[in-house]
A and B are shown apart, each in its own frame.
Chain A
Amino acid sequence: MSTQEFSPQQRDKDHGLVEVMGRSTPMVNKGPEDTLPSWPYLFVWEALLFLGISALLLAMSILIDAPLREAANPNLTENPAKAPWYFLNLQELLLHMNPSLAGVIVPTIVLIFLMSIPYLDRNFSDIGIWFASRKGKLITVWSTIYTVPLLVGLILFDQYIRVRALISEPEIIPGWIIPIGVMGLLSVGLYAVIRPFRPNTREVLVAYFTGFVVTFFILTIASTFFRGLGMNLTLPWDLPPGALSF
Protein backbone atom coordinates (compact mmCIF):
# COMPACT_ATOMS: atom_id res chain seq x y z
CA MET A 1 0.00 0.00 0.00
CA SER A 2 1.32 3.40 -0.82
CA THR A 3 1.51 5.68 2.15
CA GLN A 4 2.42 8.69 0.12
CA GLU A 5 -1.04 10.24 0.14
CA PHE A 6 -1.32 10.12 3.91
CA SER A 7 2.01 11.69 4.81
CA PRO A 8 2.28 15.46 4.61
CA GLN A 9 4.69 16.64 1.99
CA GLN A 10 7.73 18.21 3.62
CA ARG A 11 8.09 20.54 0.68
CA ASP A 12 4.72 22.17 1.35
CA LYS A 13 5.95 23.57 4.61
CA ASP A 14 6.62 27.23 3.96
CA HIS A 15 7.19 28.58 7.46
CA GLY A 16 10.68 27.33 8.27
CA LEU A 17 12.89 29.97 9.82
CA VAL A 18 15.87 28.47 8.09
CA GLU A 19 15.88 28.06 4.37
CA VAL A 20 18.18 25.59 2.73
CA MET A 21 20.19 27.19 -0.03
CA GLY A 22 22.39 25.48 -2.56
CA ARG A 23 26.11 25.54 -1.77
CA SER A 24 26.22 28.22 0.85
CA THR A 25 27.20 28.54 4.46
CA PRO A 26 26.27 30.94 7.23
CA MET A 27 29.84 31.01 8.53
CA VAL A 28 31.63 34.31 8.53
CA ASN A 29 34.81 34.67 6.48
CA LYS A 30 34.53 31.13 5.21
CA GLY A 31 33.76 30.17 1.67
CA PRO A 32 31.42 27.24 1.11
CA GLU A 33 34.37 25.34 -0.34
CA ASP A 34 35.82 25.02 3.19
CA THR A 35 32.79 23.17 4.57
CA LEU A 36 31.26 19.72 4.40
CA PRO A 37 27.79 18.56 5.44
CA SER A 38 27.70 17.31 9.04
CA TRP A 39 25.83 14.28 7.80
CA PRO A 40 27.70 12.05 7.26
CA TYR A 41 31.19 13.51 7.72
CA LEU A 42 30.95 14.70 11.34
CA PHE A 43 28.45 12.16 12.63
CA VAL A 44 30.48 9.20 11.43
CA TRP A 45 33.42 10.42 13.49
CA GLU A 46 31.28 10.94 16.54
CA ALA A 47 29.70 7.51 16.25
CA LEU A 48 33.11 5.87 15.85
CA LEU A 49 34.48 7.72 18.87
CA PHE A 50 31.52 6.65 20.96
CA LEU A 51 31.97 3.02 19.94
CA GLY A 52 35.72 3.21 20.55
CA ILE A 53 35.35 4.67 24.03
CA SER A 54 32.63 2.20 24.98
CA ALA A 55 34.79 -0.70 23.82
CA LEU A 56 37.86 0.60 25.68
CA LEU A 57 35.88 1.17 28.84
CA LEU A 58 34.24 -2.24 28.68
CA ALA A 59 37.61 -3.94 28.20
CA MET A 60 39.13 -1.96 31.07
CA SER A 61 36.21 -2.75 33.37
CA ILE A 62 36.41 -6.45 32.64
CA LEU A 63 40.17 -6.59 33.12
CA ILE A 64 40.78 -4.25 36.07
CA ASP A 65 38.73 -4.19 39.25
CA ALA A 66 38.18 -0.89 41.03
CA PRO A 67 39.92 -0.94 44.42
CA LEU A 68 37.97 -1.58 47.59
CA ARG A 69 39.88 -1.66 50.87
CA GLU A 70 38.64 -2.40 54.36
CA ALA A 71 35.70 -0.36 55.61
CA ALA A 72 36.53 3.21 56.66
CA ASN A 73 38.06 3.37 60.13
CA PRO A 74 38.78 6.84 61.55
CA ASN A 75 41.00 5.29 64.23
CA LEU A 76 43.30 3.52 61.81
CA THR A 77 45.30 6.04 59.78
CA GLU A 78 46.30 4.91 56.31
CA ASN A 79 49.99 5.24 55.65
CA PRO A 80 50.52 6.85 53.26
CA ALA A 81 47.21 8.77 53.20
CA LYS A 82 46.89 10.13 49.70
CA ALA A 83 44.37 12.40 48.01
CA PRO A 84 42.92 11.31 44.62
CA TRP A 85 45.64 11.46 41.96
CA TYR A 86 44.52 14.76 40.37
CA PHE A 87 44.97 16.48 43.76
CA LEU A 88 48.25 14.75 44.54
CA ASN A 89 50.14 17.59 42.85
CA LEU A 90 48.80 19.87 45.58
CA GLN A 91 49.62 17.32 48.25
CA GLU A 92 53.17 17.19 46.87
CA LEU A 93 53.45 20.98 47.06
CA LEU A 94 52.20 20.76 50.64
CA LEU A 95 55.37 18.90 51.59
CA HIS A 96 57.54 21.80 50.54
CA MET A 97 55.85 24.95 51.84
CA ASN A 98 53.26 26.43 54.14
CA PRO A 99 49.98 24.58 53.57
CA SER A 100 47.97 27.75 52.94
CA LEU A 101 50.39 28.68 50.19
CA ALA A 102 50.48 25.21 48.64
CA GLY A 103 46.87 24.16 49.10
CA VAL A 104 44.96 27.35 48.42
CA ILE A 105 47.00 30.35 47.27
CA VAL A 106 49.05 28.68 44.52
CA PRO A 107 46.06 26.86 42.95
CA THR A 108 43.99 30.06 43.09
CA ILE A 109 46.72 31.95 41.28
CA VAL A 110 46.98 29.16 38.70
CA LEU A 111 43.22 29.29 38.05
CA ILE A 112 43.32 33.07 37.69
CA PHE A 113 46.26 32.74 35.29
CA LEU A 114 44.37 30.16 33.21
CA MET A 115 41.22 32.27 33.03
CA SER A 116 43.12 35.39 32.03
CA ILE A 117 44.99 33.78 29.11
CA PRO A 118 42.51 34.89 26.40
CA TYR A 119 42.48 38.43 27.74
CA LEU A 120 46.27 38.69 27.69
CA ASP A 121 46.64 37.35 24.15
CA ARG A 122 44.55 39.66 21.95
CA ASN A 123 46.16 38.87 18.61
CA PHE A 124 44.23 36.34 16.55
CA SER A 125 46.22 36.22 13.36
CA ASP A 126 47.74 32.89 14.46
CA ILE A 127 44.47 31.32 15.63
CA GLY A 128 44.07 27.62 14.87
CA ILE A 129 47.79 26.92 14.45
CA TRP A 130 49.31 24.31 16.75
CA PHE A 131 51.91 25.92 19.05
CA ALA A 132 51.47 29.28 17.26
CA SER A 133 54.56 28.95 15.04
CA ARG A 134 57.80 27.06 14.56
CA LYS A 135 59.23 29.29 17.23
CA GLY A 136 56.32 28.35 19.49
CA LYS A 137 57.16 24.67 19.07
CA LEU A 138 60.77 25.30 20.06
CA ILE A 139 59.60 27.33 23.04
CA THR A 140 57.35 24.46 24.14
CA VAL A 141 60.25 22.02 23.92
CA TRP A 142 62.67 24.33 25.75
CA SER A 143 60.16 25.13 28.49
CA THR A 144 59.79 21.38 29.08
CA ILE A 145 63.54 20.79 29.05
CA TYR A 146 63.93 23.66 31.54
CA THR A 147 61.13 22.63 33.91
CA VAL A 148 61.60 18.87 34.26
CA PRO A 149 65.13 18.66 35.71
CA LEU A 150 64.66 21.71 37.93
CA LEU A 151 61.48 20.31 39.49
CA VAL A 152 62.91 16.83 39.94
CA GLY A 153 66.03 18.42 41.45
CA LEU A 154 63.96 20.49 43.88
CA ILE A 155 61.97 17.45 45.00
CA LEU A 156 65.16 15.47 45.59
CA PHE A 157 66.79 18.42 47.35
CA ASP A 158 63.91 18.79 49.77
CA GLN A 159 63.99 15.07 50.55
CA TYR A 160 67.70 14.50 51.06
CA ILE A 161 69.04 17.90 52.13
CA ARG A 162 65.79 19.48 53.32
CA VAL A 163 65.19 23.20 53.44
CA ARG A 164 63.86 22.86 56.96
CA ALA A 165 67.05 21.12 58.10
CA LEU A 166 69.02 24.13 56.91
CA ILE A 167 66.69 26.73 58.36
CA SER A 168 63.53 26.00 60.30
CA GLU A 169 62.96 29.10 62.43
CA PRO A 170 61.00 31.31 62.12
CA GLU A 171 58.36 29.41 60.13
CA ILE A 172 57.90 32.28 57.72
CA ILE A 173 61.32 31.61 56.15
CA PRO A 174 60.96 27.91 55.11
CA GLY A 175 57.17 28.17 54.84
CA TRP A 176 56.75 31.31 52.79
CA ILE A 177 59.85 33.29 51.85
CA ILE A 178 61.98 30.48 50.43
CA PRO A 179 59.18 28.79 48.42
CA ILE A 180 57.88 32.09 47.03
CA GLY A 181 61.45 33.03 46.18
CA VAL A 182 62.03 29.69 44.44
CA MET A 183 58.78 29.89 42.46
CA GLY A 184 59.57 33.49 41.52
CA LEU A 185 63.07 32.57 40.37
CA LEU A 186 61.75 29.60 38.37
CA SER A 187 59.30 31.90 36.58
CA VAL A 188 61.91 34.56 35.85
CA GLY A 189 64.34 31.85 34.73
CA LEU A 190 61.76 30.48 32.30
CA TYR A 191 61.47 33.89 30.71
CA ALA A 192 65.24 34.16 30.51
CA VAL A 193 65.38 30.80 28.68
CA ILE A 194 62.89 31.83 25.97
CA ARG A 195 63.96 35.47 25.64
CA PRO A 196 66.52 34.74 22.91
CA PHE A 197 63.59 33.64 20.72
CA ARG A 198 62.12 37.18 20.93
CA PRO A 199 58.68 35.71 21.71
CA ASN A 200 55.41 37.57 21.19
CA THR A 201 52.66 37.52 23.82
CA ARG A 202 51.23 34.20 22.74
CA GLU A 203 54.64 32.56 22.72
CA VAL A 204 55.35 33.82 26.24
CA LEU A 205 52.01 32.33 27.32
CA VAL A 206 52.97 29.07 25.59
CA ALA A 207 56.09 28.95 27.77
CA TYR A 208 54.22 29.58 31.02
CA PHE A 209 51.31 27.28 30.18
CA THR A 210 53.85 24.57 29.33
CA GLY A 211 55.59 25.25 32.62
CA PHE A 212 52.27 24.79 34.41
CA VAL A 213 51.30 21.60 32.59
CA VAL A 214 54.72 20.00 33.05
CA THR A 215 54.71 20.94 36.74
CA PHE A 216 51.21 19.51 37.14
CA PHE A 217 52.28 16.18 35.65
CA ILE A 218 55.68 15.96 37.37
CA LEU A 219 54.21 16.66 40.81
CA THR A 220 51.33 14.26 40.19
CA ILE A 221 53.64 11.47 39.03
CA ALA A 222 56.14 12.06 41.85
CA SER A 223 53.44 11.97 44.49
CA THR A 224 51.53 9.05 42.96
CA PHE A 225 54.35 6.65 42.12
CA PHE A 226 57.29 7.78 44.25
CA ARG A 227 55.84 8.54 47.68
CA GLY A 228 55.56 5.68 50.16
CA LEU A 229 55.35 5.43 53.93
CA GLY A 230 55.11 8.84 55.58
CA MET A 231 55.10 10.38 52.05
CA ASN A 232 58.84 9.76 51.83
CA LEU A 233 60.43 9.22 48.43
CA THR A 234 60.41 5.56 47.38
CA LEU A 235 60.82 3.69 44.13
CA PRO A 236 57.53 2.56 42.55
CA TRP A 237 58.25 -1.15 43.15
CA ASP A 238 58.91 -0.51 46.85
CA LEU A 239 55.57 1.23 47.43
CA PRO A 240 53.59 -0.21 50.35
CA PRO A 241 50.50 -2.13 49.22
CA GLY A 242 47.64 0.19 48.43
CA ALA A 243 49.69 3.37 48.06
CA LEU A 244 48.18 4.06 44.65
CA SER A 245 45.14 6.30 44.88
CA PHE A 246 43.01 5.53 41.88
Chain B
Amino acid sequence: MISRLRQQLRQFPDMLLQSNVWRSVFRQGYPDNDENRSLVVMNSVFLHFHPVKVKTNTLRPAYTLGLGIISLFLFLILIFTGGVLTFLYLPTTEQAYIFIQELHTSVPFGALLRNAHRWAAHLMVLSVFLHMMRVFYTGGYKHPREFNWVIGVILLVITFLLSFTGYLLPWDQLSFWAITVGTNIAGYTPFMGAEVRALLLGSTTVGGEALLRFYVLHLVLLPALLIILLGVHFWRIRKDGGLSAPLHAEEVEK
Protein backbone atom coordinates (compact mmCIF):
# COMPACT_ATOMS: atom_id res chain seq x y z
CA MET B 1 0.00 0.00 0.00
CA ILE B 2 2.63 2.52 1.17
CA SER B 3 5.11 1.39 -1.43
CA ARG B 4 2.52 1.72 -4.19
CA LEU B 5 1.82 5.26 -3.08
CA ARG B 6 5.53 6.00 -3.06
CA GLN B 7 5.87 4.68 -6.55
CA GLN B 8 2.99 6.80 -7.77
CA LEU B 9 4.46 9.88 -6.12
CA ARG B 10 7.76 9.23 -7.84
CA GLN B 11 6.03 9.04 -11.19
CA PHE B 12 4.00 12.14 -10.58
CA PRO B 13 6.47 14.71 -12.01
CA ASP B 14 6.79 12.71 -15.21
CA MET B 15 3.03 12.36 -15.47
CA LEU B 16 2.61 16.06 -14.94
CA LEU B 17 5.22 17.00 -17.51
CA GLN B 18 3.61 14.72 -20.06
CA SER B 19 0.02 15.61 -19.37
CA ASN B 20 -1.70 17.46 -22.18
CA VAL B 21 -2.44 20.41 -19.88
CA TRP B 22 1.25 20.95 -19.13
CA ARG B 23 2.18 20.38 -22.75
CA SER B 24 -0.43 22.87 -23.93
CA VAL B 25 1.31 25.56 -21.88
CA PHE B 26 4.98 24.68 -22.23
CA ARG B 27 5.04 22.43 -25.31
CA GLN B 28 8.29 20.73 -24.36
CA GLY B 29 9.45 18.58 -21.48
CA TYR B 30 11.68 19.74 -18.67
CA PRO B 31 14.79 21.40 -20.12
CA ASP B 32 17.36 18.89 -18.91
CA ASN B 33 18.73 17.95 -22.31
CA ASP B 34 20.08 19.95 -25.26
CA GLU B 35 16.93 19.64 -27.32
CA ASN B 36 14.51 20.75 -24.63
CA ARG B 37 16.85 23.53 -23.51
CA SER B 38 16.66 24.94 -27.02
CA LEU B 39 12.94 24.44 -27.34
CA VAL B 40 12.20 26.10 -24.02
CA VAL B 41 13.78 29.30 -25.31
CA MET B 42 12.19 29.17 -28.74
CA ASN B 43 8.73 28.24 -27.50
CA SER B 44 8.38 31.05 -24.97
CA VAL B 45 7.72 34.63 -25.92
CA PHE B 46 9.53 35.81 -22.81
CA LEU B 47 12.57 33.59 -23.09
CA HIS B 48 12.96 33.95 -26.84
CA PHE B 49 14.45 37.41 -26.36
CA HIS B 50 17.45 35.37 -25.31
CA PRO B 51 19.65 33.24 -27.52
CA VAL B 52 19.58 29.49 -26.96
CA LYS B 53 23.24 29.60 -26.05
CA VAL B 54 25.23 32.42 -24.52
CA LYS B 55 28.93 33.10 -24.48
CA THR B 56 30.60 32.20 -21.22
CA ASN B 57 31.88 35.78 -21.12
CA THR B 58 28.29 37.07 -21.00
CA LEU B 59 27.71 35.01 -17.87
CA ARG B 60 30.66 36.53 -15.99
CA PRO B 61 29.12 38.80 -13.34
CA ALA B 62 32.29 40.91 -13.43
CA TYR B 63 31.68 41.66 -17.10
CA THR B 64 28.14 43.09 -17.25
CA LEU B 65 27.72 43.62 -13.49
CA GLY B 66 24.11 42.74 -14.33
CA LEU B 67 23.37 46.42 -14.76
CA GLY B 68 21.37 46.26 -18.01
CA ILE B 69 19.12 43.55 -16.60
CA ILE B 70 18.82 45.43 -13.31
CA SER B 71 17.71 48.54 -15.23
CA LEU B 72 15.13 46.47 -17.10
CA PHE B 73 13.77 44.84 -13.94
CA LEU B 74 13.50 48.20 -12.21
CA PHE B 75 11.59 49.49 -15.22
CA LEU B 76 9.20 46.53 -15.06
CA ILE B 77 8.65 47.13 -11.34
CA LEU B 78 8.00 50.80 -12.13
CA ILE B 79 5.38 49.89 -14.73
CA PHE B 80 3.62 47.66 -12.23
CA THR B 81 3.72 50.00 -9.21
CA GLY B 82 2.96 52.99 -11.42
CA GLY B 83 0.01 51.17 -12.94
CA VAL B 84 -1.52 50.60 -9.53
CA LEU B 85 -0.80 54.18 -8.43
CA THR B 86 -2.73 55.40 -11.46
CA PHE B 87 -5.93 54.00 -9.91
CA LEU B 88 -5.38 56.24 -6.91
CA TYR B 89 -4.41 59.55 -8.46
CA LEU B 90 -5.81 62.41 -10.53
CA PRO B 91 -3.66 65.18 -11.99
CA THR B 92 -5.46 68.31 -10.88
CA THR B 93 -3.98 71.05 -8.74
CA GLU B 94 -6.84 70.71 -6.24
CA GLN B 95 -6.72 66.94 -5.83
CA ALA B 96 -3.24 65.62 -6.69
CA TYR B 97 -1.67 66.40 -3.34
CA ILE B 98 -4.63 64.98 -1.41
CA PHE B 99 -4.42 61.70 -3.31
CA ILE B 100 -0.75 61.34 -2.38
CA GLN B 101 -1.51 62.20 1.25
CA GLU B 102 -4.19 59.53 1.32
CA LEU B 103 -1.68 56.95 0.14
CA HIS B 104 0.17 57.58 3.39
CA THR B 105 -2.88 57.77 5.62
CA SER B 106 -5.82 55.71 4.40
CA VAL B 107 -4.90 53.43 1.48
CA PRO B 108 -3.79 49.95 2.56
CA PHE B 109 -0.14 49.52 1.55
CA GLY B 110 -0.40 52.93 -0.13
CA ALA B 111 2.82 54.27 1.36
CA LEU B 112 4.65 51.06 0.49
CA LEU B 113 3.46 51.35 -3.08
CA ARG B 114 4.49 54.98 -3.40
CA ASN B 115 7.85 54.37 -1.71
CA ALA B 116 8.59 51.43 -3.99
CA HIS B 117 7.75 53.48 -7.08
CA ARG B 118 9.89 56.39 -5.98
CA TRP B 119 12.95 54.43 -4.84
CA ALA B 120 12.82 52.22 -7.93
CA ALA B 121 12.81 55.37 -10.07
CA HIS B 122 15.91 56.77 -8.37
CA LEU B 123 17.64 53.40 -8.53
CA MET B 124 16.81 53.10 -12.23
CA VAL B 125 18.41 56.46 -13.05
CA LEU B 126 21.49 55.31 -11.17
CA SER B 127 21.63 51.83 -12.69
CA VAL B 128 21.14 53.09 -16.26
CA PHE B 129 23.99 55.54 -15.75
CA LEU B 130 26.22 52.82 -14.28
CA HIS B 131 25.24 50.50 -17.16
CA MET B 132 26.45 53.16 -19.59
CA MET B 133 29.74 53.33 -17.67
CA ARG B 134 30.12 49.53 -17.80
CA VAL B 135 29.49 49.47 -21.55
CA PHE B 136 31.96 52.29 -22.08
CA TYR B 137 34.79 50.89 -19.98
CA THR B 138 34.52 47.39 -21.49
CA GLY B 139 34.47 48.78 -25.03
CA GLY B 140 31.00 47.30 -25.60
CA TYR B 141 30.12 50.19 -27.93
CA LYS B 142 32.58 49.12 -30.62
CA HIS B 143 31.71 47.92 -34.10
CA PRO B 144 29.10 46.53 -34.84
CA ARG B 145 27.38 47.97 -31.74
CA GLU B 146 27.91 51.68 -32.50
CA PHE B 147 24.29 52.46 -33.10
CA ASN B 148 23.07 50.49 -30.11
CA TRP B 149 25.23 52.77 -27.99
CA VAL B 150 23.55 55.80 -29.60
CA ILE B 151 20.15 54.27 -28.79
CA GLY B 152 21.48 53.78 -25.28
CA VAL B 153 22.28 57.48 -24.90
CA ILE B 154 18.71 58.26 -25.97
CA LEU B 155 17.44 55.71 -23.43
CA LEU B 156 19.42 57.52 -20.74
CA VAL B 157 17.84 60.85 -21.67
CA ILE B 158 14.34 59.31 -21.67
CA THR B 159 15.02 57.75 -18.28
CA PHE B 160 15.95 61.20 -16.92
CA LEU B 161 12.82 62.72 -18.43
CA LEU B 162 10.57 59.96 -17.11
CA SER B 163 11.87 60.52 -13.62
CA PHE B 164 11.65 64.30 -13.99
CA THR B 165 8.03 64.29 -15.21
CA GLY B 166 7.02 61.96 -12.38
CA TYR B 167 8.65 64.28 -9.87
CA LEU B 168 5.96 66.94 -10.36
CA LEU B 169 2.97 64.68 -9.80
CA PRO B 170 2.79 64.74 -5.94
CA TRP B 171 2.28 68.50 -6.28
CA ASP B 172 4.03 69.39 -3.05
CA GLN B 173 6.57 72.15 -2.45
CA LEU B 174 9.46 69.84 -3.34
CA SER B 175 8.02 68.90 -6.72
CA PHE B 176 6.69 72.35 -7.53
CA TRP B 177 10.00 74.14 -7.00
CA ALA B 178 12.11 71.38 -8.50
CA ILE B 179 10.09 71.55 -11.70
CA THR B 180 10.17 75.34 -11.61
CA VAL B 181 13.98 75.22 -11.42
CA GLY B 182 14.20 72.44 -14.03
CA THR B 183 11.97 74.12 -16.57
CA ASN B 184 13.72 77.44 -15.96
CA ILE B 185 16.90 75.70 -17.10
CA ALA B 186 15.11 74.63 -20.31
CA GLY B 187 14.00 78.25 -20.62
CA TYR B 188 17.62 79.28 -21.18
CA THR B 189 17.69 77.59 -24.59
CA PRO B 190 19.29 80.18 -26.89
CA PHE B 191 16.90 82.09 -29.18
CA MET B 192 13.75 80.12 -28.26
CA GLY B 193 13.93 79.71 -24.49
CA ALA B 194 10.51 81.19 -23.77
CA GLU B 195 8.92 78.98 -26.43
CA VAL B 196 10.54 75.79 -25.13
CA ARG B 197 9.41 76.60 -21.60
CA ALA B 198 5.88 77.42 -22.74
CA LEU B 199 5.74 74.14 -24.66
CA LEU B 200 6.69 72.21 -21.53
CA LEU B 201 4.42 74.10 -19.15
CA GLY B 202 1.47 74.99 -21.39
CA SER B 203 1.62 78.35 -19.63
CA THR B 204 4.16 80.80 -18.26
CA THR B 205 4.31 79.25 -14.79
CA VAL B 206 4.02 75.78 -13.31
CA GLY B 207 0.27 75.17 -12.89
CA GLY B 208 -2.58 72.90 -13.85
CA GLU B 209 -1.60 72.80 -17.52
CA ALA B 210 1.94 71.72 -16.65
CA LEU B 211 0.61 69.07 -14.28
CA LEU B 212 -1.56 67.62 -17.06
CA ARG B 213 1.30 67.69 -19.58
CA PHE B 214 3.73 66.03 -17.21
CA TYR B 215 1.10 63.43 -16.30
CA VAL B 216 0.48 62.43 -19.92
CA LEU B 217 4.19 62.46 -20.73
CA HIS B 218 4.91 60.36 -17.65
CA LEU B 219 2.15 57.81 -18.14
CA VAL B 220 1.88 57.47 -21.89
CA LEU B 221 4.32 59.15 -24.25
CA LEU B 222 7.67 58.63 -22.53
CA PRO B 223 7.00 55.02 -21.42
CA ALA B 224 5.82 54.16 -24.94
CA LEU B 225 8.98 55.66 -26.40
CA LEU B 226 11.15 53.84 -23.85
CA ILE B 227 9.47 50.50 -24.52
CA ILE B 228 9.85 50.85 -28.29
CA LEU B 229 13.51 51.82 -28.02
CA LEU B 230 14.17 49.01 -25.53
CA GLY B 231 12.72 46.61 -28.10
CA VAL B 232 15.21 47.95 -30.63
CA HIS B 233 18.01 47.84 -28.03
CA PHE B 234 17.45 44.16 -27.26
CA TRP B 235 16.80 43.16 -30.86
CA ARG B 236 20.07 44.73 -31.90
CA ILE B 237 21.96 42.91 -29.13
CA ARG B 238 20.73 39.65 -30.69
CA LYS B 239 21.55 40.76 -34.23
CA ASP B 240 25.04 41.78 -33.14
CA GLY B 241 25.71 38.23 -31.98
CA GLY B 242 25.00 38.71 -28.30
CA LEU B 243 27.14 40.79 -25.99
CA SER B 244 30.63 41.93 -26.74
CA ALA B 245 33.47 39.73 -25.57
CA PRO B 246 37.25 39.81 -25.86
CA LEU B 247 38.45 38.50 -29.21
CA HIS B 248 40.73 36.02 -27.47
CA ALA B 249 39.44 34.07 -24.52
CA GLU B 250 42.70 34.25 -22.55
CA GLU B 251 42.35 38.04 -22.25
CA VAL B 252 39.47 37.51 -19.85
CA GLU B 253 41.94 36.43 -17.21
CA LYS B 254 44.02 39.60 -17.26
Contact = CB atoms under 8 A, between A and B. Distances in A.
B180 A38 contact: no
Interface string B61-98: 10100100110011001000000000000000100010
A242 B176 CA distance: 14
Q: Which of B31, B35, B50, B54 is most buried by chain A, counting CB atoms within 10 A of its CB?
A: B54
A104 B192 CA distance: 12
B20 interface: yes
A132 B73 CA distance: 29
Interface string A219-246: 0000000000000000000000010011
A3 B19 contact: yes
Contacts of B116: 57-58, 60-61
Q: How large is the interface on B (under 10, 10 to 19, 20 to 34, 35 or more residues)?
A: 35 or more
A121 interface: yes
Nearest to A32: B53
Contact of A65 (B111, B175, B249): B111
B101 interface: yes
Interface residues of A, number: 93
Contacts of A129: 138-139, 246, 251, 254
Given A39-B31, A117-B149, A111 B157 contact: yes
A49 B172 contact: no
A32 B15 CA distance: 34
Interface in A128-151: 128-132, 140
A59 to B, nearest CB: 10
Contacts of A128: 57, 63, 138-140, 244-247, 251
Interface stretch (B183-191, B216-224, B228-236): B183-191
A81 B181 contact: yes
Given A41-B54, A213-B133, A46 B69 contact: yes
Interface string A17-56: 0101010011111101011111111110110011001100
A191 interface: no
Nearest to B207: A74
Interface in B97-121: 97, 100-101, 104, 111-112, 114-116, 118-120
Given A67-B174, A114-B153, A86 B142 contact: no
Interface string B146-178: 110110010001001001100100111111111
A10 B28 contact: yes
B137 A99 contact: no
B225 interface: no
Contact of A38 (B47, B137, B173, B185): B47
B189 A73 contact: no
A66 interface: yes
A1 B182 CA distance: 68
Contacts of A206: 137
Interface of A: 3-4, 6-7, 10, 16, 18, 20, 22, 25-30, 32, 34-43, 45-46, 49-50, 53-54, 57-58, 60-62, 64-74, 76-78, 81-87, 90-91, 94, 99-100, 102-105, 111, 114-115, 117-119, 121-132, 140, 202, 206, 209, 213, 242, 245-246
Interface of B: 15, 18-20, 23, 27-28, 31, 34-35, 37-42, 47, 50-59, 61, 63, 66, 69-70, 73-74, 77, 93, 97, 100-101, 104, 111-112, 114-116, 118-120, 122-123, 125, 129, 132-133, 136-143, 145-147, 149-150, 153, 157, 160, 163-164, 167, 170-178, 180-182, 185-186, 188-190, 193, 205-207, 241-242, 244-247, 249, 251, 254
17 contacts: A6-B20, A7-B20, A27-B242, A37-B53, A38-B53, A49-B66, A69-B172, A69-B173, A71-B97, A72-B172, A86-B129, A100-B188, A117-B141, A118-B142, A121-B142, A128-B138, A128-B140
